[in-house]
Amino acid sequence: MNAQQWETLMSAIRGEDLRPRPNGFIVDSPWLPNWAGRTILDYFTDDGAFLDANLEAIRAFPRSMLLPGFWSEYGMCTEPSAFGSLSVWGEDEFPFARPILRSPEEVERLEQPDPRKHGLPPFVIKRLVHLQPKIEAAGHQIRFAVTRGPLNVASFLMGTTEFLTAIKTHPVLMHRLLDVVTAFLADWIAWQRECFPSIDGLLVLDDIAGFVSRRDFVEFGLPYFTRTFEADVSVKFFHNDASCKACAPYLAQMGVNLLNFGVQHTLAEMRAWAGESVALLGNIPPRDVLANGTPADVARAVREMLDPVRGERRIIVSCGGGMPPGVPTRNIEALVDAVAAHA
């Protein structure tokens, strides 16, 4: 992000009256490589392809904030790989991490990894170190530390069904698992900030928060998310495009001041549940409208979303989740134009 975009983001979070409303998108490997004419594996393995794709998107959409900006990531594999999870790759497929815990009891042998040495985190950092001079020469800075959240990482280490079952059958062991994972995430975030002093934001992505009840979120989510968000940064950005009803009332307590949520809820519902202090980033249907619709469909969806909240602040127009695969340039431009035209 450049300085102007960062200030726009901060102004939106502070609740200032911005005209036109800001818009922005979480941009990463599910969309960016193919949009830029590259394979996903080339994007992950070629620093030049990674840099060029990000710069092409920034130049193509100067009126949009692309968040978190130059996201150095390896799909869902980055954090699980540090624990020893096998990463599975395809030339143009999304990578995935295989579970390493075959039973809840195996949590007892789990050790906290070092993000400086273990798995893919060192590669994430080195890519940005190599490219930082060119990123800054283009007028941008590395603004965000980024990590998958504690429930998300735990679900990759065990398997989603297995983890969600085990919080009922083996709660003590699942607290042990989440404690180890969260300690690692805090170290991982701290190391990113140490490597890049320009970081003043934190993005935590965790859809598993939307798969548990409110009671289970309070026990197994709230304390670990609160620890994860303890970093002393200005922007504390949470992505959960599963259901947010269980976690929304606790976002401010967790420290979150910016939420990207899915299409299950309206802006009005999220405002009622999350309170006035949390800026909302959302929530045009990502697949059915932004990827598969026409520009007219996109413009209509923007109007239908914004008309009921006319005049409300702390809203950044986006899709309900990250930018999905296959979104064409014309639909992004239609969204930006529709936001600008909405009084």
> What are the tens digits of pLDDT across the range 34-47?
999 999 999 999 99
Q: Is residue 237 classed as helix, strand or coil in its secondary structure?
A: strand
Q: How far is CA 222 from CA 75, 209, 212, 227, in A?
A: 25, 9, 12, 9
Q: What is the mean pLDDT of residues 55-59?
A: 98
Q: Does 180 have pLDDT greater than 80?
A: yes
In the chain, the percentage of residues whose pLDDT exceeds 90 is 99
Q: Which residues pair with 315 in a beta bridge?
A: 280
Are β-strands 87-90 and 65-67 bridged in parallel, bridged antiparallel, or unpaired?
Answer: unpaired
pLDDT at 343 over 80: no
- Rounded (5°) CA angle 258-241-172: 90
Q: Determine how many CB atoms are found less than 10 A away from the CB of residue 180.
A: 20
In the chain, domain spans: 3-245
| Gap between the Cα atoms of 283 and 31, Å rounded | 17
Which pLDDT belongs to residue 247? 97
Shortest CA distance to 12 belongs to which of 1, 2, 3, 23?
23
Structure confidence by residue, pLDDT tens digits, 255-273 = 999 999 999 999 999 999 9
Mean pLDDT over all residues of the chain? 97
190-248 confidence digits (pLDDT tens): 999 999 999 999 999 999 999 999 999 999 999 999 999 999 999 999 999 999 999 99
- Decide yes or no: CATH 3.20.20.210 for domain 3-245: yes
User: Mean pLDDT over residues 176-187, rounded?
Assistant: 98
Q: Which tens digit of pLDDT belongs to each residue from 278-318?
A: 999 999 999 999 999 999 999 999 999 999 998 899 999 99
pLDDT at 274: 96
Exposure b/e, 230-240, CB count within 10 A at least 16 = b: bbebebbbbbb
Instruction: Supply the pLDDT for residue 311.
Output: 86
Closest to 19 measured CA to CA, from 11, 30, 10: 11
Residue 310: per-residue pLDDT: 86
Distances (CA, A) of 298 to 27, 125, 185, 273, 334: 18, 36, 37, 26, 6
